[in-house]
């Protein structure tokens, strides 16, 4: 007898992969030389490109065609409840500033969740030629090869990824946290795409990652991929990963990093 949940997860994965690859090809091949700024978000340096908006429409139109009864939550304003119990959480370009400047570290992030639990996550990074994916309970993959987190190093040897917001007051506090953290670890990296950073933890390219100020579409897919690759993820001690704070690291490093970030006040501006 077919397991209905397993069949649903398989279908959602197929849809997520196709949506992410369609959007990724559109963004890669259609990037105009005179790429403009359609609007601003939290500040004048946080841009929404014309391609951001077009990518979200491409994805939502595709989802409406393939799974018309599902809900959608998208970065650029797409929001619908749906009636199936499945909600898609999409970031049409994660790493918009990288995309705007022609840097390679941007991605399309597509996740599907049901009853508040993420079942499927896909992060497609076209300029890297990579796609991270995970299905709840079935492990994580990078370009169809199983991927696992790097074993926890001593804290002082950890390579830690992070990101910064675009509002001056928040950036100042984030810079202060980083100033105090960097002498205690191997080094810090700032890539510009939370989804890719979480996948890099999953693939062992970062030992850990933390950031304040993420939105659900920034981390929904990457969080699942990291967890399925063996990472622990969360927010402040005892809390789930959220916009207040996101932390991802393998067991043995996660608790120490989470505790230090709590002490440094990484969870507030």
Residue 218 labeled ligand binder = yes
β-bridge mates for residue 194, sequence order: none
Q: Which of the four pLDDT bands, split at 50, 70 and 90, describes residue 41?
A: low
Domain count, the chain: 2
What integer pLDDT is reported at residue 194 of this predicted model? 98
Residues 98, 198, single domain; the answer is no
Environment class of residue 189 by beta-carbon count within 10 Å: exposed (0-12), middle (13-18) or buried (19+)?
Answer: middle
Q: For 255-268, what is each residue's pLDDT tens digit? A: 999 999 999 999 99
Pairing relation of β-strands 47-49 and 37-40?
antiparallel
Residues 110, 177, single domain; the answer is no
Q: Among 146, 169, 198, which residue terminates a domain?
A: 146
pTM for the model: 0.95
**Spatial distance between the Cα atoms of 121 and 53, rounded to a whole number of angstroms:** 21
Residues 78, 137, single domain; the answer is yes
Residues 136, 231, single domain; the answer is no
What integer pLDDT is reported at residue 78 of this predicted model? 75
Q: Which of the four pLDDT bands, split at 50, 70 and 90, describes residue 35?
A: confident
Residue 93 labeled ligand binder = yes
Percent of the chain with pLDDT over 70: 95
Q: Residue 233 corresponds to which tokens in the numbers above?
A: 């993820």
Q: Among 102, 122, 146, which residue terminates a domain?
A: 146
**Spatial distance between the Cα atoms of 98 and 253, rounded to a whole number of angstroms:** 29
* DSSP reduced 3-state for 6: helix
Distances from the Cα of 246 to the Cαs of 65, 162, 249, in angstroms?
A: 33, 10, 10
Q: For 123-179, what is each residue's pLDDT tens digit? A: 999 999 999 999 999 999 999 999 999 999 999 999 999 999 989 999 999 999 999
What integer pLDDT is reported at residue 84 of this predicted model? 96
Residue 75 labeled ligand binder = yes
Run of H or E residues at 228: helix 216-228
Residues 84, 209, single domain; the answer is no
Residue 244 labeled ligand binder = no
What integer pLDDT is reported at residue 75 of this predicted model? 85
- 215 located within any domain: yes
- Average pLDDT, integer, range 8-22: 98
Residue 188 labeled ligand binder = no
What integer pLDDT is reported at residue 44 of this predicted model? 58
**Spatial distance between the Cα atoms of 96 and 4, rounded to a whole number of angstroms:** 37
Q: For 89-107, what is each residue's pLDDT tens digit? A: 999 999 999 998 889 999 9
**Spatial distance between the Cα atoms of 224 and 231, rounded to a whole number of angstroms:** 9
Instruction: Enter the DSSP assignment of 41.
Output: S
Q: Among 124, 146, 168, which residue terminates a domain?
A: 146
Residues 219, 129, single domain; the answer is no
Residues 17, 112, single domain; the answer is yes
Q: In the chain, how long is the greatest CA-to-CA distance?
A: 57
Domain of 95: which CATH number?
Answer: 3.30.540.10
Residues 124, 175, single domain; the answer is no
Percent of the chain with pLDDT over 90: 86
- Average pLDDT, integer, range 241-257: 98
Residues 178, 130, single domain; the answer is no
Residues 98, 200, single domain; the answer is no
Residues 61, 104, single domain; the answer is yes
- 256 located within any domain: yes
| Statement: residue 115 has pLDDT above 80 | yes
Residues 135, 12, single domain; the answer is yes
* DSSP reduced 3-state for 45: coil
Q: Could you tell me the residue range of the domain that residue 62 belongs to?
A: 4-146
- 269 located within any domain: no
Mean pLDDT of the chain: 94
Q: For 188-199, what is each residue's pLDDT tens digit? A: 999 999 999 999
């Amino acid at each position: 007898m077919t397991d209905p949940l397993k069949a649903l997860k398989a279908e959602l994965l197929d849809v997520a992969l196709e949506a992410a690859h369609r959007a990724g090809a559109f963004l890669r091949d259609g990037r105009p030389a005179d790429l403009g700024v359609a609007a601003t978000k939290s500040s004048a340096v946080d841009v929404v490109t014309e391609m951001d908006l077009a990518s979200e429409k491409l994805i939502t139109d595709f989802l409406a065609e393939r799974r018309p009864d599902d809900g959608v939550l998208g970065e650029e304003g797409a929001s619908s409840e749906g009636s199936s119990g499945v909600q898609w959480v999409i970031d049409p370009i994660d790493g918009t500033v990288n995309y705007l400047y022609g840097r390679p570290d941007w991605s399309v992030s597509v996740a599907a969740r049901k009853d508040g639990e993420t079942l499927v996550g896909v992060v497609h990074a076209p300029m890297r030629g990579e796609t991270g994916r995970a299905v709840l309970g079935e492990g994580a993959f990078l370009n169809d090869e199983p991927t696992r987190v790097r074993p926890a190093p001593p804290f002082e040897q950890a390579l830690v990824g992070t990101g910064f917001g675009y509002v001056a007051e928040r950036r100042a506090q984030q810079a202060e946290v980083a100033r105090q953290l960097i002498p205690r670890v191997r080094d810090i990296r700032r890539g510009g795409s939370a989804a890719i950073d979480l996948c890099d933890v999953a693939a062992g390219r970062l030992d850990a990652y933390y950031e304040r100020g993420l939105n659900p579409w920034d981390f929904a897919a990457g969080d699942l991929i990291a967890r399925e690759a063996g990472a622990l993820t969360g927010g402040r001690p005892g809390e789930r990963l959220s916009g207040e704070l996101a932390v991802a690291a393998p067991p043995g490093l996660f608790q120490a990093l989470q505790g230090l970030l709590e002490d440094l006040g990484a969870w507030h501006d």
